[in-house]
Structures are given as structure tokens and as C-alpha cells.
Structure 1
Amino acid sequence: MATSQSEKKMKILCLHGFRTSGSFLQKQISKWDPSIFSQFDLDFPDGKYPAGGKSEIEGIFPPPYFGWFQFDKRVARCGAAKGLRG
């Protein structure tokens, strides 16, 4: 049986912080009131890049840890691009 539009749950994208993971954020949110989870479809993806350096949650929650972007040393040295060609 197909689910009607009114029965569909709102999908919420839950993005974790720097040097953590989707599973860590899911663990944190699991302490919320359980009625919330029946009302929404929560998605907990991991960041695209493996996180380098020490995570503040080491020893509290197991790796791997992720980040959503990588710092580009060239941008820091030369500044951001003012255009795109290609």
C-alpha cells in the first residue's frame, strides 16, 4: 500500500560537527524525547573527508571521524579565486 502525502514524515538532514561522525550525532540525539523520532525521518551522513588531527571526542566515542571540507593551504596563501574558467 502506498503512503499518502499526508502520512509521509518530514526528512531532516542532521550534519555532525568537525572531527566527529554521523553515528556520534545520532548517539547524541538519541537522548531526545522519543516522540520526535516517530514524527521525522532523520538522516545522519558522515562528512566527505576523513578528519586529520585530534578529535575532541577521542576516548568518548570511537573513530572514524570526518569533516565536510578540507582546508586548502593555497587559498590561505593566495586568497580565494574571483572567477571560474573551464
Structure 2
Amino acid sequence: MENEDQKNKTVVRKPRFLCLHGFRTSGEIMKKQIHKWPQNVLDKLDLVFVDAPFPCNGKSDVEGIFDPPYYEWFQFNKRCPFV
């Protein structure tokens, strides 16, 4: 009987979302912004925050609002002007 009960149980997992921050910000900044959402919404989601691979090479628009570090998803290559 116990095995049948275990078979009938379904594991409900929260939907997982990869949260990618904007240009010259960070995963931590995005986390702070999203955690202003209603708690009943956040409780239903599995949010994963990551940082872009490159440290910021210029001024961030969020300086003075959020503390560094800031990251970029790509960097311009001076040898490749179309990027």
C-alpha cells in the first residue's frame, strides 16, 4: 500500500528561469530589482541569477544607484570594427 501511495505522488517543481541582467549591471542588481515583486509570485518561481563573463570596461548607467561590480556580456574588439 505504501509503494502505491508513493507512485501516485507527483513531485511538483517550480519553473526555473535563467535571469540575465542588462548591459553593465550584474546578477546581484537584477536579484535586488526582482525581489521587489510580490512574494506570492516569487514563491512559485526558481530564479537563477548569473553574472556576465566580462568585468565592465566603461561607465555603468546604474553607478550611484547600485554598488559595483558591473559586468558585460560582450566586449568590443578594436581589431574587429563590425562587432
Task: Give the shorter-chain TM-score range.
Answer: 0.7 to 0.9
5+ residue gaps, structure 1: 81-86
1:61 maps to 66
Counterpart in 2 of 1:44?
A: 49
Extract unaligned runs of 5+ from structure 2.
1-8
Report the identity percentage.
49
SS of the residue aligned with 2:76?
A: coil
Of 42-51 and 6-15, deviating more is: 6-15
Provide the C-alpha distance between the structure 1 equivalents of 2:48 and 2:38, rounded to a whole number of angstroms: 17
TM value normalised by structure 2: 0.81
| Superposition deviation, residue 36 in structure 1 | 1.4
In angstroms, what is the RMSD of aligned CA positions? Answer: 1.7
Equivalence map 1:3-82=2 (5 Å): 6-76=11-81, 79=82
Matched residue type, 1:35: N
Deviation at 1:6, TM superposition (A): 4.1
Number of matched pairs:
75
- Cα separation, 2, equivalents of 1:12 and 1:69: 22
Name the amino acid aligned to 1:72. N
Q: Matched residue of 1:27: which SS?
A: helix
Moved over 2 A (4+): none
